[in-house]
């Protein structure tokens, strides 16, 4: 498989995916046509969302079609050269993909070699489930099972920082709750600015910040980028 899973879309300079341009070009592997799945967008019109993404991909020589403007979204995904899944609300994304029958089609295309490029909610969707998203469950997605393109859970936008005086749980505490209920799983806390590249069975971490690797009953392990993840 060929995956690019980004924690976030907004770059430190304020640009949209400007930090990811070379990674996107490398993951695209010379392919020139992508299908964008915009359903994580809730407070942005899908037409506007598509234009933002086209503004990133067209300068890289990649044309972008979108499922929401297609008479047959399933057929579009089933023939996709590149699959691009944007961020927003993961519950909305999963609900729409499930209702349109896109999940097995995405999996089939990616297993056949189509690059998968996702950020935030789009990265969450690549996990076995969406249970480690940070998003509010604003819609009922018909179950939490997702694509399972990677064999562990992702937590994009990972940070364990709390504002002074805030009395809620830290992110580490929330992940510990998930692992207490799902002790066989593992979670990768992916900080903003970081991304994963999956090529075949090799998974590499890139970016400016250390990630955190969580297992049930163990202290979080700090992982400095760049590195190859060990799943043992």
pLDDT attached to residue 164: 82
Residue 184's pLDDT is 96
Backbone angles phi, psi at 167, to 5 degrees: -105, 5
Give percent of the chain with pLDDT exceeding 70: 100
* pLDDT exceeds 90 at position 12: no
pLDDT tens-digit series, residues 144-192: 999 999 999 999 999 998 878 887 889 999 999 999 999 999 999 999 9
Q: Give the up-direction half-sphere exposure of residue 203: CA atoms within 13 A in the CB hemisphere.
A: 14
pLDDT tens digits for 193-229?
999 999 988 999 999 999 999 999 999 999 999 999 9
pLDDT at 103: 98
Closest CA to 41 of 130, 138, 131: 138
Q: What are the start-end ranges of the H helices in 100-150?
A: 103-111, 121-124
Catalytic residue, from 9, 92, 127, 157: name it. Answer: 157
Q: Is the pLDDT of residue 231 over 80?
A: no
Instruction: Tell me what the mean pLDDT of segment 109-124 comes to.
Output: 98
Q: In the prediction, which pLDDT does 129 show?
A: 98
pLDDT at site 232: 61
More confident of the two residues 166 and 128: 128
Catalytic-residue membership of 157: yes
Catalytic, 120? Answer yes
Q: Looking at the chain, which runs of residues are DSSP E strands?
A: 2-6, 33-37, 63-66, 82-85, 116-119, 153-156, 186-190, 195-199, 202-206, 211-215, 221-223, 227-228
Pick the catalytic residue: 7, 9, 92, 135? 135
Q: Indicate which residue of 120, 145, 194, 201 is catalytic.
A: 120
What is the pLDDT of the chain when averaged over all its residues? 96
Q: What is the pLDDT of residues 24-67, one digit of tens each?
A: 999 999 999 999 999 999 999 999 999 999 999 999 999 999 99
Q: Is 19 a catalytic residue?
A: no
């Amino acid at each position: 498989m060929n995956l690019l899973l980004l924690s976030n879309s907004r770059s430190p300079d304020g640009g949209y995916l400007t930090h990811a341009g070379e990674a996107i070009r490398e993951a695209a592997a010379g392919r020139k046509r992508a299908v964008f799945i915009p359903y994580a967008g809730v407070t942005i019109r899908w037409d506007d969302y598509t234009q933002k993404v086209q503004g990133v991909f067209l300068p890289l020589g990649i044309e972008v079609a979108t499922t929401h403007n297609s008479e047959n979204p399933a057929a579009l995904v089933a023939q996709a050269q590149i699959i691009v899944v944007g961020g927003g609300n993961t519950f909305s994304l999963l609900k729409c993909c499930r209702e349109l029958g896109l999940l097995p089609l995405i999996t089939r295309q990616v297993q056949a070699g189509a690059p998968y490029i996702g950020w935030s909610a789009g990265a969450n969707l690549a996990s076995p489930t969406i249970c480690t998203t940070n998003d509010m469950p604003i819609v009922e997605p018909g179950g939490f099972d997702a694509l399972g393109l990677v064999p562990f859970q992702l937590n994009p936008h990972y940070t364990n920082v709390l504002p002074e005086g805030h009395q809620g749980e830290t992110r580490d505490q929330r992940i510990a709750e998930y692992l207490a209920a799902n002790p066989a799983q593992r979670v990768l806390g992916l900080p903003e600015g970081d991304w994963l590249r999956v090529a075949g069975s090799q998974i590499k971490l890139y970016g400016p910040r250390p990630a955190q690797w969580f297992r049930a009953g163990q202290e979080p392990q700090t992982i400095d980028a760049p590195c190859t993840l060990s799943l043992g």
